[in-house]
Amino acid sequence: MNEQVKTALRGANQLNILVVGDVMVDAYLLGKVERISPEAPVPILRTEKREQRPGGAANVALNLVALGARCTLVGAMGQDDEANILKGLLEGAGISAAGLVTLKDRPTTSKTRVMSGGQHLLRVDREATHDLDTEQSAALLKRINALLAAERFDAIILEDYDKGVLSSEVIRGSIAAARSFGIPVTVDPKLRHFNDFKGVDLFKPNLLELNEGLGLRARGDRPEEIDAALEALSARLAPAATLLTLSENGVRFCSGTGSGHHPAHAREIVDVSGAGDTVIAVATVLLAQQISLTDVAATANLAGGLVCEKPGVVPIDPEALLTEIDRQNA
């Protein structure tokens, strides 16, 4: 990593990025467990604090804003209290909700994590995961095209959590719209529509998603298996570049001009939730400024590791990332 990377990170405030995907509310019940319930063999949490944060694709947007970029979010929410909470959270974070549509037949996705001392005890989800129907998909695409026509965007992120917003129609229509406006597309995929993300500029699966999507059993500690899986991915989806996250084995990257690997850095891992959101956000900010793929991969790898040192889903601290880059270069 070099000074170009640091300049690009500081230049994120010149970027305008559209995020399309599954938005949600990340809620937390935080407290202490000091005894077991007499009613059943379960811990009793004495709640000390309640928190709510933008989650899913909204957490990707939160990372982009933390880096200094402007961001508009496209997704779906219900007609419920969580929708009002989400809109308030986005407004407070400086994220445009101009692309959000309200649907009657599904709730606003929410994940409530019950935690004691930084440790997860339980997660409670409220969601509907069926795909948007043809009419709903068309409405979302109409909103996307209107946003693209109204202002300049430097990149589009498709952030899939398999909650149904990224239907096949929305995926293909978003990629086609981006192509018509000359905007690069980056993708954080899930299994259900893995094979719909064809010909994008950057495809960022983790190893589980890659194996499930391709029907393989490649191991992260076996480079020859990873290389074979990436070749199969290239043959099927033809992304311009791939960034594969491998947890404790770091990241693997490849494109038509070459490939490489960056190992993981030693960390005190507290919580891996949201690390993928940080990786795709940082990678997109750098890719939009023509930073080389090897530096994109190295920096995103660092950023993903940093957010794992904190409990819960948290965005990247750009100053901490710049400091870590300097430490790695020392």
CA angle 74, 76, 79 (to 5 degrees): 140
What pairs with residue 23 in β-bridges?
A: 56
Element (H, E) at 24: strand 23-36
Q: Measured between alpha carbons, how far is 16 from 284 in angstroms, rounded to an integer?
A: 11
Q: In this structure, are residues 4 and 142 in contact, taking their beta carbons and an 8 Å threshold?
A: no
Structure-block tokens of residue 3: 């000074």
Label the pairing between strands 241-245 and 251-255.
antiparallel
Orientation angle between helical segments 293-307 and 275-287, nearest 10 degrees: 150
Q: Measured between alpha carbons, how far is 330 from 325 in angstroms, rounded to an integer?
A: 9
Q: Measured between alpha carbons, how far is 268 from 320 in angstroms, rounded to an integer?
A: 15
Identity at 187, one-letter amino acid code: V
Residues 6+ apart with CB under 8 A from 317: 66, 306
131 is catalytic: no
30-47 as b/e: b if 16+ CB within 10 A? bbebeeeeeeeeeeebee
What is the number of other CB atoms lying within 10 angstroms of the CB of residue 218? 20
The catalytic residue among 196, 201, 277, 317 is 277
Distance of CA 264 to the CA centre of its chain: 19
Structure-block tokens of residue 220: 């992260």
Q: Which sequence positions are flagged as catalytic?
A: 277
